[in-house]
A and B are shown apart, each in its own frame.
Chain A
Amino acid sequence: MTGSDQNKAPGSTGGAVGTIANNDIRQPLWLLAELTYACPLQCPYCSNPMDFANVKKELTTEEWLEVFRQARAMGATQLGLSGGEPLTRPDLVELVTEARKMGFYTNLITSGVGMDASKVAELKEAGLDHIQVSFQASSEDLNNLIAGTDAFKHKIEMAKAVKANGYPMVLCFVTHRQNIDKMDEILDLAISLEADYVELATTQYYGWAMHNRDQLLPLKEQLVEAEAIAHRYQDEQKGNMKIYYVVPDYYEERPKACMNGWGNVFLTVTPDGTALPCHAARELPGMGLPNVKDMSIDEIWNGSDDFNRFRGFDWMTEPCRSCDEKEKDFGGCRCQAFMLTGDPANTDPVCSKSPQRHLVDEALERGRLEAAKSIIDQKTLVFRNPKNSKQISGL
């Protein structure tokens, strides 16, 4: 998972002229296929589960195609091919070819590692609609430090190859305390690469990022500075390069409308075939974790306890239950509510109305204390790799 599709409102259509309003039928419009947990990078803010090394057996080509067919029949139009690094799947071109034939809009979410110019051309030929390349930071040293591998020069070449093949260049930078001070360098790099879209995504604290939270949470003053720079570039680049800047939800007063509502438009299938309402939901207690090898997508989407668990508003506790904003943000993120408060039905503690907002403020304070330590005393970042996964998860 390279990090940028976490905050999207999938299926959003706006209210433009010539459009039809969305109906109320829940359809899995957005299928995120996490094809593999294999990844040459070791980003410490990865949203993959800590115990990813436990997953040995990935779905086969035919099993993935069957998932695609079923989801497509249920209305899915957007297919995200993610991971791990999806390029490590030898059947990626075949999966793209077939998905495109089914009518999917195919999005490849990649670090660019493992790609060369001929691979980009091959994917284009297969009908791939869209490529998003993630960067860890703007300079080679920092990028390689954060990604834990020597990948930066290669990424720049790939970003250029993407553009040369007629794709809009969509760059994603995942920001955090260690790189957010480089906002101007990041945007200058994007300009020099002639990017069409730049997403300044903020680290979301799930999986590995949660484990490394004290070292990754940006400081308030860093955010103020970064936001000012981002807005300046937005103005300067108007009509040229679109810049999306996302504020970390820990610093917001209201929670994000996570996944546009639980089991509403979003379906994740993990490398081993587990179907989830979002890519972090595996960590929640009491999940049945239905697998596409045992059940149809229809049964999972419409019938499973997991997907029905937080639909609608009946599951809500106070203050969400009687809140007039509940239809706007659905109470925020269930996984964040669980990780921070211990109960996934609680209000996302990011919300200033939550009686547990102090948990978020305390996390910010811990980050501040960590940042104030000398380099030697600071905790080291734990990189996402199989060795650490096994060690931390006791596998």
Chain B
Amino acid sequence: MSESIFTADSIPVLALGYRFQWEQAQNCNVLLYPEGMVKLNGAAGEILQRISEKKQTVTELIDELKAAFGGADLDGDVYQFLEEAYNNDWIRPE
């Protein structure tokens, strides 16, 4: 396991050239980037939508998700997703 990119205080933003949007024809959220598209599952959509709409720290992001999903313990999942999203070049810390 390599060193983590995101800490509680980092602010994840979409990587340059990436765009988040709802795609009616796919019936899911997607990330668009030069000459490509990623179709997102529910959880990834919830996280990336928040990242694309508002600059906030990882802590604030997790708090918001917890409020939206009945206080579920999702810290580990969110951190793991952020690291993998970073490795896919979708997001970066500001």
Interface residues of A (CB under 8 A from B): 5, 8, 10-14, 16-20, 22, 27, 29-30, 73-75, 77-78, 80, 103, 105, 107, 129-130, 132, 166-168, 170, 196
Contact = CB atoms under 8 A, between A and B. Distances in A.
B43 interface: yes
Contact of B40 (A11, A18, A73, A168): A18
Given A18-B81, A19-B41, A196-B16, 13 more contacts: A5-B35, A16-B88, A17-B44, A19-B38, A19-B39, A75-B23, A75-B26, A77-B30, A103-B21, A105-B19, A107-B34, A107-B35, A170-B34
- Interface size class, chain B: 20 to 34
Contacts of B33: 105
Contacts of B11: none
B17 A130 contact: yes
10 nearest CB pairs, A to B: A18-B44, A75-B25, A105-B32, A20-B39, A130-B34, A17-B84, A16-B88, A168-B17, A168-B16, A77-B37
Contacts of B34: 105, 107, 129-130, 132, 168, 170
A77 B81 contact: no
Given A27-B25, A74-B25, A107-B34, A22 B39 contact: yes
Interface in B32-57: 32-41, 43-44
A200 B77 CA distance: 38
Contact of B37 (A13, A168, A196): A13
B43 A18 contact: yes
B8 interface: no
A16 B84 CA distance: 8
Nearest to A76: B25
A16 B28 CA distance: 16
A8 B34 CA distance: 11
B47 to A, nearest CB: 8
A131 B31 CA distance: 18
Contacts of A8: 35
A129 B44 contact: no
